[in-house]
Each structure stands twice: as structure tokens, then as C-alpha cells.
Amino acid sequence: MMKDLNRWIYAASGVFVLLFAGVIYAWSILSISIGSEFPGWPKAQLSLVFTFVMIFFCLGGLLGGLLSEKISVKINVVASGLLFWAGFWLAAWTQTPWQLHVGFGVMGGLASGLAYNAVLSTMSKWFPDKRGLISGILLMGFGFGSSLIGKAWQVYTPDAPGGWRISFRVLGALLFVVMATSSVFFEKPSIKNSSAEEPSIESVGLPPSWAIRTLPFWMIYCWSVLTGAAGLVLVSQAGGIAMEAAPRTESGVIALVVGLISVFNSIGRVAFGLLYDTKGYRFTMTLDLLLSLFAAVLLIFAIRTGQIFLVAAGFVIGGVAFGGVSTSVSAVTGDFFGMRHYPVNFSIICTNLIFASFGSTAAGYLYDRGNSYLSSMFMLVGMVLLSLVCLWGVRRPKNGSPVPPEVCI
């Protein structure tokens, strides 16, 4: 009873850490104040900051995974806080774009990746019986972080010139305090294996050097690239899609409709976690693709007919589906390849974000060519159909298989 209570306390601390680590996704809001002070900077310079964030978020997660067996996970969490503090302090002194690139992009991305890996890899080990649910709950915290911090930034950032610099210093210090104090709750459960048993995937797990030699590993990777790119297309183009479908709709209504994606993205993370635990990976990942496809079709009809309610329905369903991607990937990685080497295996698969991020770039290019988001929606349909092909290759390694497993290519 006490052990069960403890693991939920640890999980709550993980959600708390990810709420703040999700600050990197609030960049679109944080950058508004900076752009106002430096109107001469090209938009591409501010957009490049988020590109750096995504790249170094993946590298930070990989670094955290590689260090997980060498240093205490508590140190990883504290190091994340220090990087946030130092990076945001540097960003607060910004006079040239490179300071933002290094402070928020490089250091902030590394910090978030370290924290993300530490939370997912540690807390998931406490819930072998609820792997999908705990992934969904933790990732819901990460998703809510950008919304909560973004709104707090808008409310509390001083209107005076340079007020955003004060907010960066305060936020950096707050992030360090949160990470340092929460690190005390990061404990790994003891895992005992019988030495008399033959090593198997369940008892030992697959090291990265073996996991990357399996077909399921790369099919999961490709599935997550395509579905993640489809979700980022929806998120990055949401405002434009709504405006094209219903150009006479009030801006407040447009903002409300676009906000549905964020809300239902968080709901989708928990919902798909529960589905994973009860229905398994095949049902969950297939449903995710079907919902994505349905959302794209609804949005195509919305643009054709000019109906805002179809846009809202598409954003709700698409948000749920996008939320299911990260939860499914997190759960299936631990499920297929074991938890012992989960920090590195999961961080390798998370590098899919680097490639998925180009989905929004491609959507913008298609819009420039055709002056309509219809082409982006048809691209989304194509991504989903390719994902279905990848899903065919996602097959669970045979239970009890010796290491190395028979699923090696």
C-alpha cells in the first residue's frame, strides 16, 4: 500500500517537473516581446531559435539516456535546472540573435531534453502495470506547460521596454528551484532478476546496440516521424486553416477554435495511455492514425464549404490524435525493448522530432505555392497512409526470446 502511494507521489513530482520543462514550447508567445524590441530582426532569426530548441531537446534527451547508468538521475534533473537558469540569464541579456540561439535554443533545449528523459525513464519504471497511463499523465503535464507558462508570461511580464528581460531572469531562477527541489523524488525502483533464468527481453531488455538492429525499432521510428510531422502540420497551420475556411469569423472565435488543439492534445495523451493498457499497441496506434485521417478529411471539407464548426471538429479530433502519438511511442518503446535500457532507446526514437519538424516547413512551402492550405491537408493524408504501412512492421518481439532476440534483421 505504501509502495503504491510512493509511486504516485513520484509521478506527481514528474508531472510538476515536466510542466516547467515544457516552457520551450511557449516560444511563440515569449518571442512576441523580443520581436517588438527588435523589429529589424528577420522573422527567420526568431524562428531559428525554435529549430535549435528542437535539435538540442533531442540531443539533451540522448545525453540524459547515455548518462543514466553512470550518474544519479537526481544529478541529471539538477543539471537541467542549472542549464535553464544559465540559458535564460544569457537570453535576458540579448542584444544579438546568437545570444537567443545559444541561451534559449541550445541551453534551454538541452535542459528540457535532460529533464524529459529523466522523468519518463524514471517514473515509467514505477508503473510496469500501467505503462500507457503513466506515459499519458506525464506527457499531459509536458503539454500543459507551454500553455500555463505562456499565459503567465503574458499576464506578469512588465509592459515597460525590456520587461521581458526581467521575466526571463525570474523564470530561469524559478526553473532551477523547481528542478532542484523536485530532484529528491527521483528514485529508481529496485529490479531483481533471478540469475538462474535465461536472459530474456522481459528480464534484461534490449541494449541500444541490439534494439537498432531490429525491424520493429525502425518501424516505430518511421511511424513516429510521419505521425509527428502530421501533427505539427496541424498545429503550425491551425490559424491559417481557420482563417481560410471562415475568413469572416471574429478573431476571438478563431483563437478559441485554434486553442481546442492544445486542450484536446492533453486529453488525448491520457486517453491513449488508458487505451494502450487495455487494448494494446496495435489497436491504439491504428486508432490514432484513423483519427488523424478523419481530422484531415474534415478540414478539407471545412476549407471547401467554409464551415467553422467543421474546423472545430477537425481540430478536436486532430488534437486528440496528436496527443496519442507521444504516449504511444513512449509506451511501446518500453513495452517492446524493456525498461533497463529505456533511457537510451527512447531518446534515440525521440530524435524523430528533428525530422518531424520539417513537416510544418513543407506545409508552409505548399501554401506559398498554391495560396491555400488544401495542399497541406492532402499532404497530411499522405503521411497518415504511409504511417499505416509502417505500422504493419511494428510487431512485438516474441515473449521469452533469448538475447539477442530472433527479431534481428
Domain endpoint, select from 152, 184, 216: 184
CA distance 27 to 142: 14
Does residue 270 lie within any of the structural domains?
Answer: yes
CA distance 153 to 155: 6
Residue that the C-alpha cell 515509467 belongs to: 124
CA distance 215 to 170: 47
Q: Are residues 258 and 135 in the same domain?
A: no
pLDDT at res. 98: 92
Mean pLDDT by 10 residues, the chain (409 residues): 71 90 82 84 78 88 85 90 96 92 94 91 83 85 80 82 89 95 84 47 70 90 91 80 85 79 86 90 94 94 91 92 90 86 87 82 80 88 92 76 46
User: What amino acid occupies position 258?
Assistant: V
Of 248, 259, 356, the residue nearest 29 (C-alpha): 259
CA distance 79 to 305: 52
User: What cell was used for 148?
Assistant: 500555463
How many beta carbons lie within 10 A of that of residue 183, not counting itself? 22
pLDDT at res. 201: 52
Residues with Cβ within 8 Å of residue 282, at least 6 apart in sequence: 391, 394
Q: Are residues 123 and 11 in the same domain?
A: yes
Does residue 407 lie within any of the structural domains?
Answer: no
Q: Are residues 155 and 240 in the same domain?
A: no
Q: Are residues 82 and 147 in the same domain?
A: yes
Give the angle 10-14-20 at the CA atoms, nearest 5°. Answer: 150
CATH assignment at residue 224: 1.20.1250.20
Question: In which region does residue 40 sit, left (phi positive, over 0), alpha (psi from -120 to 50) or beta (all else)?
Answer: alpha
CA distance 368 to 79: 42
Of 59, 90, 96, the residue nearest 171 (C-alpha): 90
Cα 245 to Cα 224, 261, 302, 314: the distances in Å are: 29, 16, 6, 12
Q: Are residues 251 and 141 in the same domain?
A: no
Does residue 138 lie within any of the structural domains?
Answer: yes
Q: Residues for the chain: how many in total?
A: 409
Residues with Cβ within 8 Å of residue 127, at least 6 apart in sequence: 7, 11, 133, 134
Cα 233 to Cα 141, 268, 375, 383: the distances in Å are: 22, 17, 11, 10
Does residue 198 lie within any of the structural domains?
Answer: no
Model pTM above 0.85: no
Q: Are residues 177 and 239 in the same domain?
A: no
Q: Are residues 250 and 113 in the same domain?
A: no
Of 27, 30, 21, 19, the residue nearest 236 (C-alpha): 27
Q: Are residues 234 and 378 in the same domain?
A: yes
Of 45, 46, 48, the residue nearest 56 (C-alpha): 48
Does residue 312 lie within any of the structural domains?
Answer: yes
CA distance 245 to 365: 19
The DSSP letter of residue 184 is: G
Which spans in 38-130 are helix H? 43-67, 73-92, 97-100, 108-123
Does residue 406 lie within any of the structural domains?
Answer: no
Q: Are residues 52 and 171 in the same domain?
A: yes
Q: Are residues 354 and 230 in the same domain?
A: yes
Say whether the peptide bond before residue 404 is cis (omega within 30 degrees of 0): yes
Q: Are residues 48 and 142 in the same domain?
A: yes
Does residue 202 lie within any of the structural domains?
Answer: no
Does residue 224 lie within any of the structural domains?
Answer: yes
Say if residues 101 and 52 touch (Cβ distance below 8 Å): yes
CA distance 25 to 353: 13
Domain that holds residue 366: 208-392
Residues with Cβ within 8 Å of residue 352, at least 6 apart in sequence: 221, 224, 225, 228, 329
Domain count, the chain: 2
Q: Are residues 178 and 244 in the same domain?
A: no
